[in-house]
Amino acid sequence: MITLIQLEYIVAVDTYRHFAQAAEHCFVTQPTLSMQVKKLEDDLGIKIFDRTKQPVVPTDIGMLVVAQARKTLAESGRLKEIVKQFLGDISGQLNIGIIPTLGPYLLPLFAGNFKKKFPKVTLYVEELVTEHIAEKLKNDRLDAGIFVTPFGDDSIIEQPLFYEEMLVYAHSGHPLLVKNNLKTIDVAVPDIWLLNDGHCFRSQVINLCAIKPGSRQELPFDLEGGSLETLMRIIRKEGGFTIIPELAVNDLAEVEKNNVVRFDELKPLREVSLCFSRNYVKQGLLKLLSEEIKASIPKEMLNRERGDLVTWK
């Protein structure tokens, strides 16, 4: 007889691709986990995992079994959530992934208030690039992700939260700060600082500024920057400019806001969404999280019609 415990074990092995790590995640000994996985394989008459390879990988039929196991566990989890909602029990843990160009600016706006309103909910947050969040959503290692969409993956549901304007941040005295009727074509110049590869915001900036692949930037030095804060500090010292998201402006000192300028011909926006896999379980908690995030930001940022969407894929 197949048990939910056995399904949890094979999903854990598939997620971590290592029996010892899977056992640690499931809070059992490795022999116990291995025995239950072997019993399930014997009952089904198949090999779910190829143990001759390191890391361990599922067999062809094993991939189908694990996929179905994830769906079954998700449905089982929904039963518990239905009962908790009926009883008004708002508790549990939410594991959230958020991209680095949002985390420092968005988290302080909602995380504290969310915890105060729902003290029995533990919010665990990881700062990751979009591709890593998506991978963890598919492997059920995160309940939800907050990143820029459209992402374009059928296995991930995108629930738009708000629309954030993209602005120019430049060194004091930079010509862009005093240019009349600033257009996107005006920022296709070689003294722009960019985040490193892997950041969706970098791709959006490249699309917005029409930067040609392989074009050489005229900067004091090459930087593989993973932080907007780092780019802004360098700009203040070395010159040049970059593009920053709207929420980042809130953290600037009043005098430093003079280094920010908007585009005149359009208002470029990035769509920020709460994303989860199609097997997502914690519907009630995610709904409360979504509502809290929307309540924490300026109301105009909820309006999709306030500007033009810039894609990154």
Q: How do residues 4-45 score in pLDDT, each as one tens digit?
A: 999 999 999 999 999 999 999 999 999 999 999 999 999 999
215 falls in which pLDDT band (50, 70, 90)? Answer: low
Interior/surface letters 72-102, b for 16+ CB within 10 angstroms, e for the rest: ebeeebeeebeebeeeeeeebebbbbbbbbb
| pLDDT tens digit sequence for 91-123 | 888 999 999 999 999 999 999 999 999 999 999
Residue 242 CA to residue 260 CA, distance in Å, equals 10
For residue 108, with 0-12 CB atoms within 10 Å meaning exposed, 13-18 middle and 19 or more buried, which class applies? middle
What is the number of structural domains in the chain? 3
Does 258 lie in the same domain as 193?
Answer: yes
**What pTM was computed for the model?**
0.84
Does 157 lie in the same domain as 16?
Answer: no
Domain ends where: 40, 58, 78? 78
* Dihedral, CA of residue 30, residue 31, residue 37 and residue 39, to nearest 10: -170
Does 279 lie in the same domain as 213?
Answer: no
Does 174 lie in the same domain as 215?
Answer: yes
Per the model's pLDDT, the better-predicted residue between 227 and 214 turns out to be 227
Segment 179-192 shows an average pLDDT of 86
Residue-range definition of the domain harbouring residue 303:
86-163+269-309
